[in-house]
């Protein structure tokens, strides 16, 4: 191909140039777009002009086959095909191919869009030449080195951004992943095999080395290093046939040099050189080359299945995991990137069947849609610095407003422990009444005042609860089992109120409530060993606080007096404390003089009789009524049993008499039906029949 003739053909013929870079907008790229497909025909002296024809717009290609006369007169063989593409490159130079296929994709990558350029076709059709070119002539370099050159030139044109470039080179050989840059001295072979990993950010190859390149020469050195490690073989179709799929990836990360801009963009360009499909009958592959061809054809078949699934809008599942190639290209196939397929075909009549297969693949790929989007991220370090700077400016503005309002110097920094302790002290003094009001300074101080109110309230609740627990046994009102046990013990009535006051002797006796009948003593059904401590008795008899604490039992919990052994005070002290109480008004029914209580509890039989006569009188009455009813029914049952037994005895006597009569008549020779005629009478009469 003549490099100098390319501009002339481009000027007079169809134009393949894309829009200038400055007109590409992110809003237009937000919608879904179809994959761009191009066809490049390998130049040959034996071009099949009668079978392969191009459209006038160079965007379609028609294939015509002659009918096989050996099939007879009736021959429904298809002979014509037409394929609509985005461009047909015939006798095109490397420069024109890059301008048409790859330039716009690479340019948009620096704006944050991912891009993928894939070369597909039959073995020997020129895929590797299109992608990498040759090293003998600089003008014959391929898409890959030209893309690296364009990236670094665009970086020089953007001094306002700090752009870093990294590259990696992956090879998929016989369904195994290899790093073509692992031979570098500072990389070394990987200990663990490489795997394909998916995460919310996309698909990446675990174990694949990524190399930072600061200049174009470093990137070319890495490219040539990877090319020397590729696996190639020779067969009848191609002397230097690639035996593996290779993916060269360029990673771009652009940060603005303006420190206030915390956003930055990332993108990657996948340059895919697929191994060519082979017909084993034509290539004549044997041994290792045959095995490689089997893996290549298998992976390309899975790639086509994935493309067909992506083109069908009704399909929900796309088989990306069938092979390593489709799994590694999951982001590129139908993802958020600009996708371009360049199909390389032969122009000779002998390869027309393979050409048709490649064009069918290109037409299926054209049905696939992608949704390119800018990959924007945020620099956390810059965001923190910008927020700190903005915070400092806001503090300065607040200071200006305070000075204009003639307010004292206000500190807007977070409060330290000393300031928090001072607010806590002010809150406590305000609650005690020693401080009339709390001065409001700023919003942070108001929030802390409310917080300290909550702290003080929580502390007081804990103190009250701990004081109650020291003197009483707290029972949750929702714990019905515990309440039932306390009620059975006679310590709490059915309304949930305490029964009397503790008598100071360590037993659950107590004073009868006002609702009880006058003149009767209320005693508990059961005594407990640990009911009331000496401190509780002392405060309950002399301190008015104990009355308030007893009232708490009607709200959330039930209070049951408790005591400890060996904690009984001297009787003289208790009498002195009792005599020190002020007499209450006589009109209060709760303060009537109570009869003296015995110093020791009554015996169990006496206590039981008292219970039956007082609190258990109703239960005792019901029990006696049920007992009398039971005795009466038992008596009637006994009489009925006696009658039944008498009837049974009569039946036995009658049966014996009948048997005797039967035996007599049998001896006399009488017929049995006479006996049968008298049998029913034996069941209707209680007396034995008379002798015949």
459 — pLDDT class (breaks 50, 70, 90): very high
Binned at pLDDT 50, 70 and 90, residue 634 comes out as: very high
| Residue spans of alpha helices (H) in 552-601 | 571-579
391 Cβ partners below 8 Å, 6+ apart? none
- Res. 269: pLDDT tops 80: yes
41, 97 contact by CB (below 8 A) = no
> Over pLDDT 90: what percentage of the chain?
29
HSE-CB of 37 using CA atoms within 13 angstroms? 24
Q: Give the confidence band of 98 by pLDDT, cuts at 50, 70, 90.
A: very high
Which of 33-42, 211-220, 241-250, 577-586 has the weakest average pLDDT?
577-586
Mean pLDDT over all residues of the chain?
77
> What does the pLDDT read at residue 211?
93
Q: What are phi and psi of 564, to 5 degrees?
A: -125, 150
Contact 164, 177 (CB under 8 A): no
- Given pLDDT bands bounded at 50, 70 and 90, which one contains residue 273? very high
Long-range contacts of 654-660 (CB under 8 A, 24+ apart): 654/682, 654/685, 654/686, 654/687, 654/688, 654/689, 655/682, 657/688, 657/689, 658/682, 658/689
Q: What mean pLDDT do residues 634-653 have? A: 94
Mean pLDDT within 138-161 = 92
Spatial contact of 216 and 149, defined as CB atoms under 8 Å apart: yes
Residue the block writes with tokens 């029913």:
680
Give SS3 for 179.
Answer: strand
SS3 at position 55: coil
Alpha carbons 96 and 3: distance in angstroms, whole number: 9
For residues 579-612, b (16+ Cβ closer than 10 Å) or e, as one string? eeeeeeeeeeeeeeeeeeeeeebeeeeebeebbe
Q: Is 250 helix (H, G, I), strand (E, B) or coil?
A: strand
Does the pLDDT at position 293 exceed 90?
Answer: no
For the chain, what percentages of helix, strand and coil (3-state, to nearest 5) are there? 45, 15, 40
Cα–Cα dist 67/69, whole Å = 6
Position 272 pLDDT exceeds 60: yes
C-alpha torsion sign, points 45, 49, 55, 57: positive
Residue 655's DSSP bridge partners are none
Give pLDDT, residue 481. Answer: 78
DSSP-derived letter for residue 268 is E
Question: Tens digits of per-residue pLDDT, 194-203?
Answer: 899 988 878 8
DSSP H/E element including 100: helix 94-101
| Strand 376-378 versus strand 369-370 pairing type | unpaired
CA 183 vs. chain centroid, Å, equals 42
Q: Which of 191-200, 266-275, 680-689 has the lowest mean pLDDT?
A: 680-689
Reported confidence tier of residue 235, pLDDT bands at 50, 70, 90: low
Of the ranges 29-43, 47-61, 257-271, 550-564, which one carries the lowest mean pLDDT score? 550-564
**Count of C-beta atoms within a 10 Å radius of residue 62:** 13
Between 54-68, 271-285, 302-316, the lowest mean confidence (pLDDT) is in 271-285
Q: List, in sequence order, every residue forming a beta bridge with 169; answer none if it has no partner.
A: 248
Structure tokens at 254: 């652009």
Nearest-angstrom CA–CA distance, 399 and 403: 6
Please, what's the b/e burial string for 143-170 (b: 16 or more CB within 10 A of its CB; e: otherwise)?
bbbbbbbbbbebbeeeeebebebbbbbb
Mean pLDDT for 620-641 is 92
Token digits of residue 622: 């019901």
Residue 61, phi then psi, degrees to nearest 5? -140, 135
The tokens describing 253, both together, are 């990360």
Average pLDDT over every residue of 538-549: 39
Rounded CA-CA distance 279/43 in Å is 21
Quick one: tokens of 235? 């067969």
The pLDDT, as a whole number, for residue 100 is: 93
How sure is the predictor about 492, in pLDDT bands with cuts at 50, 70 and 90? low
Of 680 and 661, more confident: 661
Cβ–Cβ < 8 Å for 342, 40? yes
DSSP string, 312-357: -TT-----GGGSHHHHHTTTTSSSSEEEEEEEEE--SGGGHHHHHH
Centre a 10 Å sphere on the Cβ of residue 290 and count the other Cβ atoms it contains.
14
Task: Reply yes or no on whether the pLDDT at 559 is more than 70.
Answer: no
pLDDT of residue 598: 53
Reduce the DSSP state of residue 620 to 3 states and report it. helix
Enter the pTM of the model: 0.56
Q: Is 70 exposed, middle or buried (0-12, 13-18, 19+ CB in 10 A)?
A: exposed
The mean per-residue pLDDT over the stretch 527-543 comes to: 40
CB contact at 8 A, 331 and 251: no
Is residue 495 predicted with pLDDT exceeding 50?
Answer: yes
Strands 202-206 and 195-199: antiparallel
Give the integer Cα–Cα distance in Å for 568 and 530.
12
Predicted local confidence at residue 11, as pLDDT: 35
pLDDT at 686: 43
H/E run at residue 612: helix 604-613
Residue with tokens 């995460």: 199
pLDDT for the residue numbered 607: 85
How many C-beta neighbours within 10 Å does residue 119 have?
Answer: 26
Write down the pLDDT at residue 31.
78
Hey, what are 400's tokens? 């200006």
Query: Which pLDDT score, from 0 to 100, does residue 401 have?
Result: 82
């Amino acid at each position: 191909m003549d490099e100098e003739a390319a501009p002339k053909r481009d000027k007079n013929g169809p134009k393949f140039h894309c829009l200038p870079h400055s007109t590409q907008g992110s809003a237009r790229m937000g919608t879904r777009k179809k994959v761009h497909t191009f066809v490049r025909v390998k130049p040959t002296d034996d071009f099949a002009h009668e079978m392969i024809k191009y459209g006038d717009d160079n965007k379609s290609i028609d294939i015509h086959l002659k009918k096989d006369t050996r099939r007879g007169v009736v021959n429904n063989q298809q002979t014509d095909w037409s394929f609509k593409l985005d461009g047909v490159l015939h006798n095109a130079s490397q420069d024109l191919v890059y301008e048409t296929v790859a330039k716009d994709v690479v340019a948009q990558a620096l704006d944050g869009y991912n891009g993928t350029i894939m070369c597909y076709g039959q073995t020997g059709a020129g895929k590797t030449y299109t992608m990498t070119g040759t090293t003998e002539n600089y003008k014959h370099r391929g898409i890959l080195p030209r893309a690296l050159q364009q990236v670094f030139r665009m970086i020089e044109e953007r001094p306002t951004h700090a752009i870093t470039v990294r590259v990696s080179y992956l090879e998929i050989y016989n369904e195994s992943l290899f790093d073509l840059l692992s031979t570098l001295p500072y990389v070394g072979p990987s200990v663990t095999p490489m795997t394909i990993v998916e995460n919310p950010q996309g698909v990446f190859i675990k174990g694949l080395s990524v190399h930072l390149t600061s200049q174009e020469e470093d990137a070319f050195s890495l490219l040539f290093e990877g090319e020397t490690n590729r696996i190639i073989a020779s067969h009848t179709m191609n002397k230097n046939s690639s035996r593996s799929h290779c993916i060269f990836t360029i990673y771009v990360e652009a940060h603005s040099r303006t420190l206030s801009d915390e956003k930055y963009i990332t993108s990657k360009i996948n340059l895919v050189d697929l191994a060519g499909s082979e017909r084993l009958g034509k290539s004549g592959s044997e041994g290792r080359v045959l095995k490689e061809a089997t893996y290549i054809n298998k992976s390309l078949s899975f790639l086509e299945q994935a493309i067909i699934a992506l083109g069908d809008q009704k399909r929900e599942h796309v088989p990306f995991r069938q092979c390593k190639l489709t799994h590694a290209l999951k982001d590129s196939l139908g993802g958020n990137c600009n996708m371009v397929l360049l199909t390389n075909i032969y122009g000779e009549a002998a390869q027309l069947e393979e050409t048709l297969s490649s064009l069918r693949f290109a037409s299926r790929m054209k049905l696939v849609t992608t949704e390119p989007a800018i990959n924007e991220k945020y620099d956390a370090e810059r965001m923190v610095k910008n927020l700190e700077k903005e915070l400092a400016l806001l503090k300065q503005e607040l200071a200006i407003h305070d000075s204009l309002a003639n307010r004292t110097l206000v500190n807007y920094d977070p409060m330290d422990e000393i300031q928090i302790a001072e607010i806590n002290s002010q809150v406590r003094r305000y609650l005690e009444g020693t401080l009339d009001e709390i001065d409001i300074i700023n919003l942070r101080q108001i929030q802390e005042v409310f917080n300290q109110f909550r702290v003080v309230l929580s502390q007081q609740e804990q103190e009250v609860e701990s004081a109650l627990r020291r003197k009483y046994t707290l029972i949750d009102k929702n714990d019905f089992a515990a309440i039932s046990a306390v009620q059975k013990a006679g310590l709490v009535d059915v309304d949930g109120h305490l029964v009397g006051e503790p008598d100071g002797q360590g037993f659950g006796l107590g004073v009868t409530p006002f609702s009880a009948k006058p003149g009767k003593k209320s005693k508990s059904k059961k005594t407990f060993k640990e009911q009331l401590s000496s401190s509780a008795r002392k405060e309950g008899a002399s301190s008015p606080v104990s009355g308030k604490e007893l009232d708490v039992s009607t709200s959330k919990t039930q209070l049951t007096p408790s005591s400890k052994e060996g904690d009984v005070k001297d009787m003289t002290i208790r009498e002195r404390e009792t005599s020190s109480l002020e007499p209450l008004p006589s009109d209060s029914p709760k303060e009537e003089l109570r009869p003296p209580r015995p110093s020791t509890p009554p015996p169990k039989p006496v206590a039981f009789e008292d219970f039956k006569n007082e609190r258990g009188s109703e239960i005792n009455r019901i029990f006696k009524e049920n007992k009398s009813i039971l005795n009466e029914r038992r008596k009637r049952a006994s009489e009925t049993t006696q009658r039944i037994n008498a009837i049974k005895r009569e039946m036995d006597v009658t049966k014996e008499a009948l048997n005797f009569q039967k035996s007599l008549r049998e001896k006399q020779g009488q017929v049995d039906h006479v006996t049968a005629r008298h049998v029913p009478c034996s069941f209707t009469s209680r007396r034995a029949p008379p002798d015949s």
